[in-house]
Amino acid sequence: MSIIHPIHYFDDTRNAALPTARVDNVKEAAKDFRRDMLAGPKVRYYQSFELVRVPYPSKFAYLNAFSRRTAFVQLVNRLFVIQFDSDEGLKTLLVSPMDWENQRETPYFKRLAESGGIFAPLGEALVTRKTNTVTDVLASIGLKPEDIDYLTYDHMHTVNLQRWLGANGQPAVFPNAKLLIMRDEWNCARSPIPWQNQWFCPQGLEGIPEDRLILLDSDVKLGDGSVALVNTKGHTEGNHSIVAHTDDGLFVTSENGVSLDAYAPEYSKIPGLADYAKMTGAEVIINGNTQEYVVDQYISMVLEKAIAGPSKQDERIPNIAPSSESDGFWLFPGTAPSFQRGELKYGELTQPG
């Protein structure tokens, strides 16, 4: 397939017996990957859009590091629209197109909603802000559903694909789109163990036609090489990070970390993060709602940080654009991040066709 090009920069980097050696290996390999990506073409268009703000347990957001008793942080879920060139012409990719209207059956959040706590109707109205839907965002920038070539998610927690790709006789909203996903993630999401299953939307992948899937077995570059999907196992078994070359360098997107503070904890003013980093020597603070692969997740976040490089606006922080970014909220004291990525825009959208 001429759009998908396997790459091998990080093969065998995690085979060392010592975890610290694996950290050093991914850092070293990231130098070559970063050099080659920056020497190549840039994406035609890159823009992020806020979809919805939801509460998320602080004990997971900053695993072992957050020192306040505040129970939740507020996460901003974003959609990323990316256009890149290829031998087959312009391609349009949606990153993290959350169908939040149809993902409420995810057990963890459903249980909170039914518990009478913060997700109860009054509480939800207070702390959940439904800014936009995927289809409304696309309409606002002039894209039609049939213009979308690919969908991808850094991981499949809460994802319901049935409306987007069609399932069980339901027509697809995106009739031409295919899902780019690591094979390990597809298998994990279809058959999670009890430790994991609280975070996957039941039946969210049921009935998806096989011809709508592109299962990946390695890191890949897409099209002209301005976009890459890099395996960053940790938050989930088949987690991957989306790397895009823009006018401000390489942006890396995943939910391994929920804020820029998580990638630069030594500079964070969030209670506990800087102290934890100093005490332990941690380079990053992981998002730990599932903890099957915490060693890999730590290594993956270090890798993401090394690929991204420093921000041109503030060299203390890397060019990370979290798919779900923590934001301050008056009901959740002490959670306001020291650094905010916010929404991004590079290049100009091209109307397909």
CA atoms of 32 and 11, how far apart (whole Å): 13
What letter represents residue 196's amino acid? Q
Q: What's residue 225's pLDDT? A: 97
Q: Which domain holds residue 235?
A: 17-327
| 335 is a domain residue | no
Tens-place pLDDT, residues 295-350:
999 999 999 999 999 999 999 999 999 999 999 899 899 999 999 999 999 999 99
pLDDT tens track for 213-227: 999 999 999 999 999
Measured in degrees and rounded to the nearest 5, phi and psi for residue 310 equal -75, 150
| Residue 157 confidence (pLDDT) | 93
Q: Lowest-confidence range among 109-118, 157-166, 170-179, 243-252?
A: 109-118
102 band by pLDDT with thresholds 50, 70 and 90: confident
Q: What integer is the mean pLDDT of 276-296?
A: 94
pLDDT at 243 > cutoff 60: yes
The rounded distance, in Å, linking the Cα atoms of 160 and 162 is: 6
Residue 336 placed within a domain: no
Quickly state the pLDDT bin for 123 (edges 50, 70, 90). Answer: low
pLDDT of residue 126: 57
For residue 291, the model assigns a pLDDT of 83
Whether 343 is in a domain gets the answer no
Collect all residues with Cβ–Cβ distance below 8 Å to 89 and sequence separation of at least 6: none
Instruction: Report the distance separating Cα 174 and Cα 348, nearest Å.
Output: 22
Closest CA to 185 of 164, 207, 204: 204
Q: Enumerate the β-bridge partners of residue 57.
A: 72
Tell me the average pLDDT of the chain.
93
Is 299 a member of any domain?
yes
Q: Is the pLDDT of residue 122 over 90?
A: no
Asked if residue 347 belongs to a domain, the reply is no
The reported pLDDT for the residue numbered 108 is 81
How far is it, in rounded angstroms, from Cα 322 to Cα 155?
Answer: 12
| Residues 301, 26 contacting (CB under 8 angstroms) | no
30 within domain boundaries = yes
The CATH number of residue 313's host domain is 3.60.15.10
Query: What is the tens place of the pLDDT at every residue in 247-268?
Result: 999 999 999 999 999 999 999 9
What are the angstrom distances between the C-alpha of 302 and each of 104, 248, 264, 315? 32, 20, 10, 16
Give the angle 163-166-172 at the CA atoms, nearest 5°. Answer: 75
Indicate the range of 53-57, 150-154, 283-287 predicted with least confidence.
53-57
When divided into structural domains, the chain yields a total of 1
Q: Is 220 within a domain?
A: yes
For residue 116, the model assigns a pLDDT of 59
Is 252 strand, coil or helix?
strand
User: β-strand 178-182 against 91-95: which pairing, if any?
Assistant: unpaired
Identify whether 337 is part of a domain: no
Read off the pLDDT band of 127 (50, 70, 90): low
